[in-house]
Structure 1
Amino acid sequence: MADQSVLRQSSLLGRLMLDYETTNELGLVDGLLVDVNQGKVVALVCKGPVWQRQRPVYSWQQLVNIGKDSIVLHAQGAEQSQAAAQPMVGLEVWTDMGNCVGQIVDYRLERDGAVIQYLFAQPGQAGLYGLDPEAIISAGRKRIMVSSRAIEQAKYYADEAIPMAQQDWQATAQTTAQSLADQMQQRAQGWSDYAQEHWRSEDVNEQLRSTGRQLQDKTQGLRSQLNQQVFKAKKRLSPLNKALENTLENALDKLSEPSSQADSPPIDLDSFEVWEDDE
């Protein structure tokens, strides 16, 4: 028979919370907050109506009793600071050697809130491992660190089922690992393609520079040849230009000279004989 004084964090989630003084429903248990240094649950987070923006937090000291169907507590208890408290479910478990060995999915606790054992799961393996609170070296908002020896000595519970809220964690972890591997492969392929494209670009640039130099050399050669041809043509046309100039000068000189012919004598009309017609 199971020890009734030992509770599972997962068994308290969703349980009704009642006010001891008024019997009013306060809401449902949404989570527990643990002070890691004390190794103790110090508060409960309540999920109230949908119009309630903030989730009320009740101190563990406000509890009156934990029943099978509800948790009874004093709703008007003294407020206490929970700055050092945090949720533990979902934290990654890392060793002091730098290895991630799993994730906390549940824990056992006494009715006074003292944590007996944290339960963590490993990707791809059924069952849970038990970890003593004293094994925790340090804790943050995303992960805890424990000694490698504590992991080696962790008790394995093959018949322990992963809580419903955490059953998809193993699949998520495997999917995440595969996704990271795919991303790394894509990045490596991307760098390879970039390098090849960069090298090709360098080759193309070098070819363009070489082609430009060749075109420049050919242009200079053609310009030199053209200058030589023009010089030769001018040299050939020089005598013709002089001959044309002389011809034009002679023609102009002739046009400007006075007529050298003597004036013709006038016609003497009296010298012509007139013959009469015979009758």
Structure 2
Amino acid sequence: MTAEADVVKQSDLLNQLVLDRNNMEELGRVDMLWMYPAAHRVLGFICKSGFLGAKKIVFKLPQIQTLGTNSILVHSQPEETDGEKVKQLDSLLNCEVWSDAGNKVGRITDYRFQLKTGEITQYLFVSSGWSGITGDIYQLPPSRIISFGRKRVLVPEAAVKSFELYRPGIKQTLSKARNILKDDYISLVKQAQSLTEHAKERAQAIAEQAKETAQTFTDQLKEETQTFTEQAKTTSQTVAEQVKERTQTVVDQANTGFQSPYPPSQAPTTPEPSVSKPAVSPPPPASTPQPQAATTHAFADEEDDPWDFLEEDEPFTPPPSYPETFRKADTNPKTKTETEDDDDEPWI
């Protein structure tokens, strides 16, 4: 027998598997304990076996070798009995507990005893309810029992309030659970408040960080925009200067590449827009043209005449670069004379 099984509860042995330690054969299951109420002692237990538990065998308490969690190991052979004898065994289980003041206290549902000696240490009774489900379970020492019968047990009224609580019932359990839940609720509320404050602080910190980040980004964007603007301004100025220089270069090249056919002193000027002038009197009748005067140029010295390379009988042909007007004027002395005398000539 193990040391921790010195005191056991009657209900813990019910329906336990009984095995023969010598051959480990199954002998049956525990049906009930065999007790002697007058001495408040357990003598052994009744084992049922066979079809529907019809076979009954009795084991005395000293035959128990080991009480385990799932089985009871016994040695030596049990004694056979029958169901009628079992029914006649006395027991205080399910007996009502009454006080000597005539008050019903409760009902016995279980008991505890020492496995070695079989001595019952406490009867367990429920104060109210059914089978201890709703009521509190208290301990009833055998010494407090004044008398007993097959259905009732008598205890002193003064001792009723001194019985120790063995296990709280549903009411007390619910009350205790309510208190625990209340404490848990208060703890959860505090935790929720703490989490809320922490979340608030965290959100505020994130908002500040986001604000700082946005400000930094704005400053960077402003600096980059200003830099880009300055670069664009510089680039535009450079491009404008390059375009101006390129334009001036093209103009200079155009001016250099065009050679005027006139001497600087005889370069034609841009004709002014014709302005209407008052009518003039018609010129006098043309006289007989003087060929000598038409071909004569006012040069002081014949050496200075630029046309002396032409022979007298060779007709004059102006260079290709001369304008058409000058070509016609030179080939037609009459027309040239009239043009020189006309007041509307733009070259005068």
TM-score (normalizing by structure 2): 0.41
Larger RCO (CA within 8 A; separation ≥ 6): 1
Structure 1 or 2: larger strand share? 1
Q: From the CA coordinates, give the structure whose radius of gyration is larger.
A: 2
